[in-house]
Chains A and B, each alone.
Chain A
Amino acid sequence: MMQQHIDISSVLRQTLACDLYSNLVTRKTGAAVRGQIEQLLSDSPGDGRALTVIDFSQVSMIDFSCADEVVAKLLLRYSDEEATEVYFLFRGVTDDHWDAIEAVLERHGLALALESGDDVRVVGALSDGERRAWDATYRLGDATEDDIAAETGTDGAGARDVLEALWRRRLVMRVDGRYVAVGGARHHG
């Protein structure tokens, strides 16, 4: 699977006419940044399957309108997308970014995989079942439906439905018939 790293502050500098600002503010800026990210994704070689790290490390702040454009609309655009399988791992998200990102995830019922230190966790709007299944998948490294059923105390059909839902939301990847949590493979070799 193709992997790439997108530094949001670099995209922001390319987007704005001047490079003085490191703040992700205004809906117009957010839409331009998202457009640039989508362009980078469509330009990247491969079979349409990609894991992309969205790196906020150098971004000072993000407001609600910009978070809606950069985070929410990006996730909405690639969730359940038939033609491509694009997965996102968010990196460098601090408390300074979190209020805005959390608000837009809640507003749209979205969730994302977030790197936090050496760990990855899933944040946003998930059912208890989805959260348990994602945690189990991440903990196991890669897993089958039966593995997740055993780990979460559900039956096979229930586990399959939840894993399918997580896959459509692009929170787990399907690799050779097994499920891998986004951001999980790296930590589990």
Chain B
Amino acid sequence: MTHVIAVPPSLDDHSFEQVLEQVAPLPDDAKLVVDARHVRWASPYGLTALLTFAQTRKVMPTLAVPELEDTASYWARAAFFQHAEGLYELRGSYPKRREAGESSVLLEITPIAKSDDVHAVVGHVQERAQRIIKSELKLESKAIIGFAMTLSEVCQNIIEHAGQGGWVAVQSYNWTRRLGRRVVVIAVCDAGLGFRKSLESTPGHVPTDRWDDAAALEAAVIRGVSRFRDRGRGQGLAGTRSYVGRWKGKLSVRSGTARIAIVPGWDDDVPLAEGLPAFPGAQVQVIIPEAVSDTEAR
């Protein structure tokens, strides 16, 4: 029996949960048709999570591609179809070749599996991020280097902890609906070990009474705990948190059945969501918004 999974018209980190909720009652080897025909917009998180989702399935799912030409065209420019061809049976028509010149895509969807990939990603993004962060987000020059550092650290999270490859994408866009400002967004998703299993591999790890995905996320993201005994470990996420705080951005990390977020004043997300549908690996999103004066912020 084939199950149809409806993808929400606007696909982001929150609405992606609807995909997982539909899949939760089904066995891992269920035959799925992921119906994205009516999707009009997808964030970098939505696209990288869709690729990651396919990697978690035992049977290759089918993806019905967006019918809207603009949407399919954007997915092609973001290199989604290029990677999805190996993970989904694609149904419907979509641009087979990526068109150049998409200025809002700072980094098309890129696989991350080794240290060299991180070098390539950071090198690729640096120049374009400079223009976007200064001209469009109106942030100080210092934000540019911090952005590259943040990108590097969240990508390294895959290499250090996932135990398998993952995906990264970076995009800037005008986030009219939620914020009314421009934002630049980093999404990094993998279907690997996840934070709980990674921390459980620490030599001598003794789980606390309340040891679950949420506790693991709190330990790693808030307290900088790492599975390595090396005291220098765990600084990447701490640095990311500090960068996000400094520029009034948002960091959210989902792993297993929980999601933790550093929530800025402009957002109404919950700091910790538990009991979410299970999803392997770790999914990280960083949002840096356009600067506004204090008057505008009010």
Contact = CB atoms under 8 A, between A and B. Distances in A.
B280 interface: no
Contact of A20 (B123, B153, B159, B239): B123
B122 A23 contact: yes
Contact of A29 (B119, B146, B148, B149): B119
A3 B126 CA distance: 35
Interface residues of B, number: 26
Nearest to B116: A17
Interface stretch (B68-76, B163-171, B203-211, B228-236): B228-236
A111 to B, nearest CB: 16
A61 B150 CA distance: 12
A135 B216 CA distance: 44
Interface stretch (A40-48, A93-101, A171-179): A93-101
Contacts of B126: 23, 60-61
Contacts of A107: 231-232, 235
Contact of A26 (B115, B146, B232, B233): B115
Interface string A13-51: 000110011010111110000000000000000000000
B118 interface: yes
A99 B153 CA distance: 14
B152 interface: yes
Interface in A86-117: 95-96, 99-100, 103-104, 107-108
A85 interface: no
Instruction: Bin chain A's interface residue count.
Output: 20 to 34
Count chain A CB atoms within 10 A of each CB in B118, B119, B236 and give the residue with the most. Answer: B119
B149 A26 contact: no
Interface of A is mostly: helix
Count chain B CB atoms within 10 A of each CB in A64, A99, A103 and give the residue with the most. Answer: A64
A68 B232 contact: yes
Count chain B CB atoms within 10 A of each CB in A25, A29, A72, A96 and give the residue with the most. Answer: A25
B177 interface: no
B115 A23 contact: no
B160 interface: yes
B245 to A, nearest CB: 13
A108 B115 contact: no
B231 A61 contact: no
Given A23-B148, A26-B156, A65-B153, A104 B232 contact: yes
A151 interface: no
Interface string B5-31: 000000000000000000000000000
Given A23-B122, A65-B156, A108-B231, A28 B149 contact: no
A63 B119 contact: no
Contacts of B96: none
A100 B156 CA distance: 15
Contacts of B118: 25-26
A21 B119 contact: yes
A73 interface: yes
Interface string A128-144: 00000000000000000
B222 interface: no
Contacts of B156: 26-27, 63, 65
A23 B232 contact: no
Contacts of A73: 232
Contacts of B231: 107-108
Contacts of B233: 68
A100 B160 contact: no
A16 B120 CA distance: 12
B179 interface: no
B145 interface: yes
A92 to B, nearest CB: 15
Given A23-B123, A26-B152, A95-B142, A65 B115 contact: no
Interface in B110-147: 115-116, 118-120, 122-123, 126, 142, 145-146
Across chains A and B, which 7 residue pairs bring their CB atoms closest together, nearest first? A68-B232, A28-B115, A25-B152, A63-B152, A64-B235, A64-B239, A26-B115
13 contacts: A23-B122, A23-B152, A25-B149, A60-B126, A63-B148, A63-B149, A64-B236, A64-B239, A65-B153, A68-B232, A96-B145, A99-B146, A103-B235
Interface of A: 16-17, 20-21, 23, 25-29, 60-65, 68-69, 72-73, 95-96, 99-100, 103-104, 107-108
